[in-house]
Each structure stands twice: as structure tokens, then as C-alpha cells.
Structure 1
């Protein structure tokens, strides 16, 4: 497909930046952007002056006012890349007050913040460029959108390497898949996410990792990394059934209690059940893993096996994993409610999908940028909030003989 004039200009601008500045780091690119922002704002201000006077500088025949241009004044404005000196056009009678940068206003970083905000909400670079043009009347190339959003990369790198809490009461792990475009080829990439519940009952995303597939070995590398970043102990890990994941987590954190997600087991078992029976089947299952006691759970499971004997594949999924159901009843109801499912981290992935559904990303950094910006929004939403019924969860943890000393150690 042939490039539009706008795309050709964008490519030309990008090439000029690379040729003139030869940036090697994000800081180099930010310095280049400072040089670009100045002329860009000056051009916009000249456009406002044309509209204010009713004619362009070289078209005096259309002049319908006695007012006229009167040179330029100097102004230093603040952008997110630093301070930039610009020339602001003046008119003879002093009636020109630009809307883009009003008199006495010096901070214009809001425009850049709007670009980052739109990117965080999953808008494509093309859509952002069009939106900026609709709002402000000037075009922003796709390359410039990328350069502006690259400003979050140093913060992302710092966040990925930050020290973590020494203990997490609960950790939830899961993967989701999205697409990265490499030249003419697209590949599915696994996004690894770990959500932790701190001893204070706060949510914290420990990190984001990318890999072409989900595997035990990658998970072990991730567990090893979070241990190196300061995590000494984890009480419970809730996960799906990736082969070897349970053994891999125990290799790094020997005392961790591994819990299979009940929701994943339901999904695995309904594959063997006709759709007409889904509702009745899952209702019967809820009586098993949601029973008030182990005795009631065993009784419900016996009835479940008899009721659904016509679907041995579905029964087998639960028979092979029933020790994970029984394990839930080693703990109080408040703990069971937290650990029985990975829904907490799947909710984060649902939020991620809202901003990744736009299509394939050009590279890993582009994907990580938008996910990190989403994480920041989620963390802002979580500020000041605690896990529901957390006081009861902690009381029940202290009643567990095998956990009491560990809990007290990290509460001090």
C-alpha cells in the first residue's frame, strides 16, 4: 500500500532526527524532542496569529484590520522533556492572547501527558495522532507519539527492578497472550503477571515478564528473580495447572503452600460436558468446593460423582486434583475465600486486554509501555484500600500451627 503524504512527512522527520541527533539513549531522544517541540509550538502560535488577524503573513491583500504583526517575544516553556525557549508572535495593539499557550502560562507538558494518557487507554498511535490534530489543529507523527511515550521507559525499568516486600501472604500467578509484530511476522507472546497480597492486606503487582510461551522454566526464572529482589517467604501461591509449575515454585520457596485454582479446574472439566448441562454441572461443583466443612465437601463430592457418572472425563479432572479441594479445608473460611481461585490476577489481565485489543504491537517495549501505564492506573485505584475481610484472614493465619511463627516473624 502506498504511503500517504502525511506518512511520508513523518518518516522524513524521523530520519532527520536520527541523522541530525543520532540518539543512542532515551535521554538523547528527549533532548532531540526539546529541539522539535520549540518549532512545533512556534508554528502553532503563528497559525493562531493568522486566525486572530484574519490573514496570513504573506497575504496582506486579505487584511481587514488595522492591527498587524509586531515581531516576537521570547518565552521559556516547561515540557516533560525540560525547558524550551520559543518565540511568541505579537500584534501591534496587544490583543493577541494565544489559546495554546496563554499569556503567563509556561507549563505545556499537559499536551504530552494527554498523549501518554491516551496511549495508556489503548489508543493506537494513528488514533492519537488524529485526536491531537482534531483538538489542537496540528499533526503529531506516529514516531513522535512513540518518542513521547518512551518517556515512561526509565520508570518502567526502575519499577521492574525495584526491591520487593520480604513476605507476601498470598501470591497469584497467571499468563495471558497478546500479539507482537516482527517485520512481516506476528507472534503470540505470553505476558506473565504476579499479584501479591502484602502482610498489610494491600495489592501489589510484583512485575511483568514476556516470553513466547508459558513454561515451568520461565516461571522458575521469575520466582528466582523475585527472591533476588527481596522476597524471603510466600505463604500461599494460587495458580493454574501448568505442568511443573507447582514443583518449580517449591524449588525456590520450599515452604510455600500451592493451591490449584478451582475456576481453572471447572474450565478443564466442562470440556467433557455438553453445553446443555453446564449450568447444572457447575452448580453441583460449587456444593463441593464451597461446602462449609470437609465432611460436607466429601459428601457433596460423592453425590457429584454419582450424579455425573455419564461424563467420566469431567469426573476424572476432579478426582486427580481432589487433594487441592481437600487442602482448602485445612484453613478457615476467610483464607479459603482468598486462595481458592486466581480470579484476582485474571481481573488484572481483563484490564490489560482492554488496552491490548487494538492489535499487534511493533515490539516488546511498545507492549510493556502500555501494560505498565495500565498498572500505574490500577495501583492508583488500589491506594488506601485493603483486601476485604483482611483482619479475619490474619487472625485465621495466626491460628495455623505451621504458619503462626512465620506470620509473627513478618508482622514484627
Structure 2
């Protein structure tokens, strides 16, 4: 039997669909081919050619019936052959189910990649000449649920994660006829091969010690071993949860957040030199040089009343912000901040921004999980490493 195979470049299709119309010649050609294919199927079923006379024939041709058929290149009109007994059926529609599934997956991919539901419905309408409801697009994304659940709950005991980055961001979710903010916790680890992995995420009502502890317990239940260092901002609930759940693990306060906290207390006028000095404290090659720069800063500005809060904040948080110096020198620039996780959060935010308000927490879990799965797959691919050099 003749084999028909059509493949489409969905990426090019999605890129061009909003600017150009579909090629009607292509659709017409496919109509001709499929009609001929079905005609040939009926001939093979009949075991004779049209107009042949055979007293032993087992069935009779009985014309055609029209059928609209929606493919991933658009809606086409086909003439489907039939027989008098009704026993003949074409396998064209079954073959094209795979293409229909690819089209549905393409719709899901558009949503995950940050295309709004409204725009997706427009794309489908231009592709197929058929409108779809927003609820249909939303229902399609539910197909992500099993894959996201499996990924989010995968075992973590087959790797040791030396460094653990944690952070939270806020999203808006519709709940009980009102819009509320919810916290999305994300954890990323650096394994013994110096590669990054997104090892977990959780959606909670707010950022608190209790919710952070629950999140950490879920990671350890999946097999996470105590990391050497946890890198995060200085949220009080997060700090308390790290201290309680990761006994014996050091905490690295993100130097970017810490410097921002210090500089918020600093006068804006005539402080450019002081700001440069502060940055150099945490970029020093060794902890000894860093301490010397810190002491020099305090000695230089402690007589200036404008710098009282600056010096107090620096002195109180300094030790937590230099824990990275206890690790090998080749890791310092990577583990003194949460920048690598901030970039992941910005990718989530870019896709989340087009949605603005999630209809419920389950939909937020599915979409954010799908985005994180995609980001995780593309972190440090092949021979790429997050940290290069020999570990001590």
C-alpha cells in the first residue's frame, strides 16, 4: 500500500503565521493526493478497477461523501470513497492523528514559550480556519501534568549537590473569585560534575520559615544530601529554615543582595568612591585581602555620621557574605551570588508575564514546571560546565 508521509516545520510555521497567509496551492495539492490515496485504498479493497464487471465481486462502489478534515496546515475538504455494504474504511484519518497530536503539542509549546492564550487561538484560527476557545487551550496544557509531576518528584540520590541555590518569586493566581499572590520556591544544585540542575520547585501561599522548611524536607525526602553551601538572599524565614534543616551546612548570603542592602542606607551624593570600595571588598582574590579592604572602609568612613548605618549593616552581615572564600578559588565568582538562579527566574517571569493571572494553582504548577523542565534540559549541555577548574 502507498505510504504517505508529510512533515512540517512548526517553528517556521509559528514564526511566519502572524505575518503571512497559508499557501492555498499546498492545501489543494494535499487534497488531490489524499483523494487519490483513498481512491486507491478502495480499489485494493474491491480487488478490481472501477467499471470492471465481475460476477464474484464482494461489494460495490457507492460514490463519495464530503468530509472537512483539519490538519496542522489548515482545514481541507475531502471526498471520501464509500461502498454499498459500508464495510470499507480509509486509514487516512488514523494516519493523520499523529499530525493532529503534533499540532496539539505545538499549541502547548506556544503556551509554555510565553505566547498568550489569546494569540494561540488566533494562530489556530489562521492555521485551520477554525476558532478554538480559551478553555480548550487551557485544557490542552493539562497534558503536561504527568510529565511535570514525574520530573518534579524524580529521585535526587543519584548525585551529590555541593552547592544549592534557592530563591522565591511571586505570581498572581485566581482563588475563590479573587486574585492572590503566591510564592514560587525554586532550588538549583551544582553536582559533582560541576553542572547545574534544577532540582525542585514548590508553590506556596507565602514565603515563610514553615514553607521553606516544607520545601527542604521534600527535597531531602527525594534523596538530597546535605550540601556544603546554600546560597540565597537574607529573608529571615529562609535563613531560619536553612539553619534548622541543613545542620552543618554553611550559608552564603548573596553579595549582590547584600551590597544592595548596604547601599540603600548610603547617601547618593558624593559617594561614588565609597561604592566602588564596597564592591571591591567582595571581589578580592582572598579572604585576607577582603578583610583588609573592609577594615580600611570602616576606618575611613566611621567618623562620618552619614555612614553610620552603612558601617553597621556591613559589619553585621559581612561574615555571612564571605563564606564562599572557604571554597576553591575557581568557584568564587559562581557561588558568591544567586545570579545564576535570578536568570532562571527572569525566564519564568518572561513567560508568566503574558498570562498575568493564573486561573488556579494547578495551572501555575503545570506551566512553571514545564518552563523549568525546558530550562533544566538546556543547562550546561554536552561537555559544558558551570564551574571549570580542579576542585580542591
Q: TM-score, normalised by structure 2?
A: 0.72
Residue correspondence of structure 1 range 248-327 to structure 2 within 5 A: 248-276=241-269, 280-308=273-301, 309=304, 310-327=306-323
Aligned twin of 1:374? 371
How large is the RMSD of aligned CA atoms in angstroms?
3.2
Q: Which residue of 2 aligns with 1:384?
A: 382
In the alignment, structure 1 residue 246 sits paired with structure 2 residue 242: no
CA distance in 1, matches of 2:345, 2:209: 20
- What is the CA–CA distance in structure 2 between the aligned matches of 1:174 and 1:279, rounded to whole Å? 30
Runs of 5+ consecutive residues of structure 2 not aligned to the other structure: 1-26, 33-62, 82-91
How far apart in 2 are the matches of 1:349 and 1:221?
A: 21
**Structure 2 residue aligned with 1:331:** 327
The 8 Å contact of residues 168 and 186 in structure 2, kept in 1 or not, is answered as: yes
Q: Which residue of 2 aligns with 1:351?
A: 347
Shift of residue 135, structure 1, vs aligned partner: 2.5
CA distance in structure 2 between the aligned counterparts of 1:103 and 1:230, rounded to whole angstroms? 44
Q: Corresponding residue for 2:133?
A: 141
**Cα deviation, residue 196, structure 1:** 0.6
How far did 1:328 drift? Answer: 3.2
Return closer, same or farther for 1:380/1:331 CA change in 2, 3 Å cut-off. Answer: closer
The aligned residue for residue 361 of structure 2 is 364
1:170 touches 1:235 (CA, 8 Å); kept in 2? yes
Cα deviations by residue, 1:196-252 (Å, 9 ceiling, x for unpaired): 111112211111111121111111111111111011231111011111433422432
Q: How does 1:26-65 map to 2 (within 5 A)?
A: none
Superposition map of 1:62-211 within 5 A: 70-71=64-65, 89-90=78-79, 105=96, 107-108=98-99, 109-165=101-157, 166-211=159-204
> Counting helix residues as a fraction of each chain, which structure ranks higher?
1
Contact kept in structure 2, 1:196 and 1:206, CA below 8 Å? yes
Q: Structure 1 regions of 5+ residues with no counterpart?
A: 1-47, 54-68, 80-86, 93-100, 397-412
Distance 1:282 1:175 in 2: 27
Deviation at 1:136, TM superposition (A): 2.3
Q: Contact 1:270–1:278 (CA<8 Å) still a contact in 2?
A: no
**TM-score computed with the length of structure 1 as normaliser:** 0.69
Secondary structure in structure 1 of the residue aligned to 2:156: coil
Distance 1:283 1:200, change over 3 A: same
Please state whether the residue corresponding to 1:255 is helix, strand or coil.
coil
